[in-house]
Amino acid sequence: MKRRELIGAAGLGIAALGLSACQQEEPAAAPAPAEKPQRFNWKMVTAWPKNFPALGTGAQRFADIVTRMSGGRLNIKVFAGGELVPPLEVFDAVARGTAEIGHGAAYYWKGKVPAATFFTTVPFGLSAQEMNAWLHKGGGQALWDEAYAPFGVKPFACGNSGMQMGGWFNKRIDKVEDLAGLKIRMPGLGGEVLTKLGATPVIMPGSEIFTALQTGAIDATEWIGPYNDQAFGLHKAASYYYAPGWQEPQAVLELLINQAALDQLPDDLAAIVVEAARSCNADMLDDFTFHNIQALQQLKNEGVEIAQYPEDVIAALKTASEQVLDEFAAQSDLGSRIWASMKAFREQASDYSALTEKALYNWR
């Protein structure tokens, strides 16, 4: 190659390298700014006194879990019963959108949604474990959704009291006739059962129970169990503590969510809400079981008289309960379908539990 051609080729090579270097040294385009995550601030209204053991604290735990799991993208502020709306108006507040979310017990809204009663508890009904299985695996949730859909409300199980006690009385119950004429604070279908046996059921929020019992405005009350009953001081206002809780073999505490608000959440936040409810559902049952054991022993140590309902009283209550449930279910097609589903599952569960839990408890 001639010298002139060699120099020319070298020059072209150097120029190409220079152009390449210039191209590599040009700064890269700045990345598009990340979208700011959408944040939601919800109000939760509850039927419970502020920080009330298991119930109030369970609602707060749910709110705290959602806030943490969402990294603050969904923040829930909890209002105790009466702070934003009265305890028995939680369902209405969520349906109206006054609050996006609520925590209560379905049988409190029986006057608005009669079938709701089934989704808290029924007398001589399912245990807590059986109720969870029926709701989550046995078709109960779909029926619950159907009951609340006309109001734009989506329900979830978010806590359970487990087996409750039969209540506090200011007189002994030795026979069925002793129930006649008594004013007993008892919501739900349990109250209607008492009506058949001559008692008068009274519905009032938990915050009013102690004063009503102490002043004689009511003769007896059921609330929940030793853990909460002790916190309310009911042992200071009544003489006899009866067992078992025939009226509430368990009680679901429900999460109510305004459907329109839920639909606005992105998929990940909606999933957090659902899983937080499942977590709190299990945790509250653990909480009740542990603390009821402790509180019952403390009440015994304080001299509280624990009484058992006589067998003939339980038999009368059971007969009346089946009548009330059949009559109540027959009032609507939805109620009939709910009771048929629950009753069928109860029969299946009874066969299984007789061979398992019942046998274990008898052996122990």
DSSP SS3 for 67 = helix
Alpha carbon of 357 to those of 129, 137, 354: distances in Å?
11, 20, 7
Mean pLDDT to the nearest integer, 20-45: 70
Mean of pLDDT values over 17-30 = 49
The per-type count for the chain, helices as H runs and strands as E runs, is 13, 11
34 DSSP assignment: P
Give the pLDDT confidence score for residue 204 in this predicted structure: 85
Tell me what pLDDT residue 7 has. 39
Cβ–Cβ under 8 Å, residues 63 and 277: no
Give 167's strand partners.
242
Q: So what's the pLDDT on residue 147?
A: 98
**Residue whose pair of structure tokens reads 């009669």 in the numeric block:** 114
Q: What's the whole-number average pLDDT of the chain? A: 91
pLDDT for residue 20 is more than 70: no
pLDDT value for 10:
40
Burial class (CB in 10 A: 0-12, 13-18, 19+), 114: middle
**In this structure, are strands 101-104 and 252-258 parallel, antiparallel, or unpaired?**
antiparallel
**Rounded-to-5 percentages of helix, strand, coil across the chain:** 55, 15, 30
pLDDT at 11 exceeding the cut of 50: no
Count of C-beta atoms within a 10 Å radius of residue 329? 22
Q: Where are the beta strands (DSSP E) in 101-173?
A: 101-104, 153-160, 167-169
Q: Across the beta sheet with 200-202, what order do the strands follow?
A: 200-202, 183-185, 220-221, 167-169, 240-243, 305-308
Using N-to-C axis directions, what is the helix angle for 188-196 and 311-329, rounded to 10°? 110
Q: What is the pLDDT of residues 205-255, one digit of tens each?
A: 888 999 999 999 999 999 999 999 999 999 999 989 999 899 999 999 999
Cα–Cα dist 56/38, whole Å: 28
Take residue 164 and report the two structure tokens written for it. Answer: 């409750």
Bond into 244 cis (ω within 30): yes
Mean pLDDT along residues 291-299: 96
| Interatomic CA distance for residues 76 and 42, integer angstroms | 5
CA-CA distances (angstroms) from residue 72 to 64, 231, 305? 10, 33, 48
Mean pLDDT of 111-130: 95
Q: What is the pLDDT of residues 35-51, one digit of tens each?
A: 788 999 999 999 998 88
Token pair belonging to 317: 């209550």
**Spatial separation of the C-alpha atoms in residues 211 and 196, rounded to whole Å:** 27
Better-scored residue on pLDDT, 177 or 15? 177
Supply the pTM of this predicted model.
0.86
What integer pLDDT is reported at residue 55 of this predicted model? 93
Residues 89-113, mean pLDDT to the nearest whole number: 96
Q: Is 357 exposed, middle or buried (0-12, 13-18, 19+ CB in 10 A)?
A: middle
Q: What is the mean pLDDT of residues 268-278?
A: 98
Q: What number is the average pLDDT over the span 188-209?
A: 91
Q: What percent of the chain has pLDDT over 70?
A: 91
Nearest CA to 156 out of 70, 262, 54 is that of 262
Cα dihedral across residues 364, 284, 305, 204: positive or negative: negative
Q: From CA 245, how far away is CA 163, in angstroms rounded?
A: 7
Mean pLDDT across the stretch 2-27?
43
What's the sign of the alpha-carbon dihedral 205, 211, 216, 222? positive
Q: What residue ranges in the chain does DSSP mark as E strands?
A: 40-46, 74-79, 101-104, 153-160, 167-169, 183-185, 200-202, 220-221, 240-243, 252-258, 305-308
| Predicted confidence (pLDDT) per residue in 139-166, tens digit | 999 999 999 999 999 999 999 999 999 9
**Residues comprising the chain, all counted:** 364
Domains and CATH numbers, the chain: 40-163+250-291 (3.40.190.170), 167-248+303-332 (3.40.190.10)
- DSSP bridge pairs for 155: 256
pLDDT at 356: 93
Model confidence over 58-76: pLDDT tens digits? 999 999 999 999 999 999 9
